[in-house]
Chain A
């Protein structure tokens, strides 16, 4: 605090009574400031350390000529995994977000208080289930259950012009397709998105809800007019948390998916694009030398994808910042 010009100089004793003099230091304040600043810095250091690790170990694979890499030229090798990761996560979000919003709205605005509390606990509990369990459930329960539906979808709409891009191809006999993976991922992201969304919806000022109701809005109109717009930034944050889980999920994908080569949009075949994280988990134990670098480089690609998606979401929210109600 030597820059503070108002600090009395030592050689010039202050004429103020002692009760008004500055304390040398307030211990609690400095401690709290230290802890807060330290935590803020720590998270940056951890992120930087991860990034450094990824970049450092990726460089050998990124700079090596394609024919020296054990899995083939880097970009053409990593593309199907990157696309598969994004495709599966996008599908998962497509299923999870509407349901999460619905559950959160039900808990906050429709359910009787007792039921709402119970439901809240159950959702939180779902978040605590380890991904191995979701993987087992995916293989043993979900895949056999949805397989007949896949067969029916494939035989009815699979031959239609545009639909064949998604539902066409040779249908999987086990049901362990990318669509099943997306469903499992959706169930896994659901609790985190719901929990955060619920908190956000609860923050809607009562005054805004009443303003809407007093204008003659029905409950649903009030939700559209007051609750959803107010909650949008929080909703985006919730989706980003869920998406992070879907993009990075390893175990459930590795267990459920029957992977094939290349990328395509077809959801029901037995040859599916794998995700980056699951591929690393499958290949890493047997990889050595440049192969390890190549796998780590694919991890860097995942890191960058996540970063871009997050920044894009922030940018969308920031564009409407003046209308957020924060001012």
Chain B
């Protein structure tokens, strides 16, 4: 289930714009890796390159390789649609499908993979996924109600349930708590700690405390100067990055002395 990610010499471009330069890193299975850095430094772009979602933007492409348990996601023969079925994603703002019920939202991804789904199979997946997202007890009596009627935090957990319903190998989270209140954020953070038992989790966050609380490994991205591509400055155990970073830029960013 959980797989190891290895990024080698990754360069990402949007048309002529060089967005991210020479990223190398290894992400171990059953761990949480946090990407931190100021806005526009390319951390979301790198995250999206892990399930080829950056390609949704016309003109986007990349060089280098991203290996998922040794298989290159950018191999000519690899279908980006298949990649996304193995590498799930949760977005900055909760985005359940407004036209679907809670239940149908959870099953949205499953239905893409499997044309025929018996009612019993569907119910089982819905219960398992919602329990996995710590949402089951709150919604079990209203599975046929619209997903958009839930609170922001519940909607985000519904999106997590939808992502894990297809049993992905990796779960990517792009600032999953930035639109949520502190209590909902806490619920998601607790959930992330549970999710890493089963999945490889990569999370982008602007909240340094959050990175320190949930992640095992932290990667700091930065721009050398405005207009230049973003780079991976330093990656290491969260403990080390937050207490004893090798790079001055990392320390400045962590301590808030960033100019």
| Chain A residues in the interface with B (C-beta under 8 A) | 113, 205, 207-208, 210-218, 221, 225-226, 229-230, 232, 320, 322-327
Contact = CB atoms under 8 A, between A and B. Distances in A.
B162 interface: yes
A216 B84 contact: yes
Of the listed residues A207, A208, A215, the one surrounded by the most CB atoms of chain B closer than 10 A to its CB is A215
Given A212-B97, A325-B99, 20 more contacts: A113-B58, A207-B91, A207-B95, A213-B84, A214-B84, A214-B91, A214-B163, A215-B84, A215-B88, A215-B108, A215-B163, A216-B81, A216-B84, A216-B85, A216-B113, A217-B81, A229-B99, A323-B98, A324-B98, A327-B148
A309 to B, nearest CB: 24
B131 interface: no
B56 A210 contact: yes
A215 B56 contact: no
Interface of B: 51, 53, 56, 58, 81-85, 88-89, 91, 93, 95-101, 108-109, 112-113, 145-146, 148-149, 159, 162-163, 166
Contacts of A326: 98
Nearest to A230: B99
Contacts of A327: 98, 146, 148-149
Nearest to A322: B146
B91 A225 contact: no
B95 A210 contact: yes
A323 B146 contact: yes
A217 B166 CA distance: 12
A50 to B, nearest CB: 36
Contacts of A324: 98-99
Given A216-B82, A218-B81, A327-B146, A211 B99 contact: no
A226 B85 contact: no
Contacts of A218: 81
Given A230-B98, A327-B149, A225 B81 contact: no
Nearest to B111: A225
A322 B95 contact: no
A210 B98 contact: no
Contacts of B145: 322
A117 to B, nearest CB: 14
Contacts of A320: 99
A211 B163 CA distance: 9
A213 B109 CA distance: 10
A210 B148 contact: no
A281 B146 CA distance: 50
A210 B95 CA distance: 9
Contacts of A113: 58
Of the listed residues B97, B145, B162, the one surrounded by the most CB atoms of chain A closer than 10 A to its CB is B97
A208 B148 contact: no
Nearest to B98: A325
A324 B148 CA distance: 9
A212 B88 CA distance: 11
